[in-house]
Amino acid sequence: ARQGHHEMKKVFAFYDRGGAGEMKAKEQIRFITDYFPEMAHDKDMRPQLLDIVQDVDRSRSGKLDFKDFLRLMQQLRELQDKAKVSKEMDAVKDTNFSVQEVSDFRQLFLEGDSGTGDFSLEEAKKMINKITPLGDKYCKELTKIFREVCGEDAEGYRDLVDFPDFLLLMKRLLEVNFARIRDVRQ
């Protein structure tokens, strides 16, 4: 806990550009954009983010001191966790996978996840190549499907997926019987 507090002090000091012990509105925006980019770039999330920032600003000055900043971090992390759980529940519902299938897919995901909570396009290629050989044609098709499912971020196509997107990817690959994967699976 002590190290975490020290780390938070360093983060706060970095965004406290003037060194006055407070983060101004522009610094708060930069912080949220840097640490919570998905939330920061989600238009639907902005009103919630504004409410949180106003809620943690106990002095109502528009500036956050360190204690306000810690409350902000806690609330943003809680919001992020709720969003992740909700996204996963939606993906399970949308794919209509059984509990066992979700469990099996989670195991596959974790085997390809390098500890970041994400699964890369390259890992998807390796995983499927173990099941059925991928030539150039299938690699290109997989890349296309991967990017359709995962969408784009501010920098362009995402080549990483979280677990809910991984479930959607698996559903799509099974639906189109990618590389005759359903035939091999049985």
For residue range 175-186, what is the model confidence (pLDDT) as tens digits?
999 988 777 655
**Amino acid (one-letter) located at 105:** F
Residue 24 pLDDT > 80: yes
Q: In angstroms, rounded to a whole number, what is the distance separating the alpha carbons of residues 183 and 1?
A: 51
Give DSSP secondary structure letters for 119-179: EEHHHHHHHHHHHS---HHHHHHHHHHHHHHH-EETTEE--EE-HHHHHHHHHHHHHTTGG
Residue 62's contacts (CB-CB under 8 Å, 6 or more residues apart) are 24, 25
pLDDT of residue 3: 62
* Local structure of 23: helix, strand or coil: strand
**Mean pLDDT throughout 75-87?**
92
pLDDT of residue 1: 59
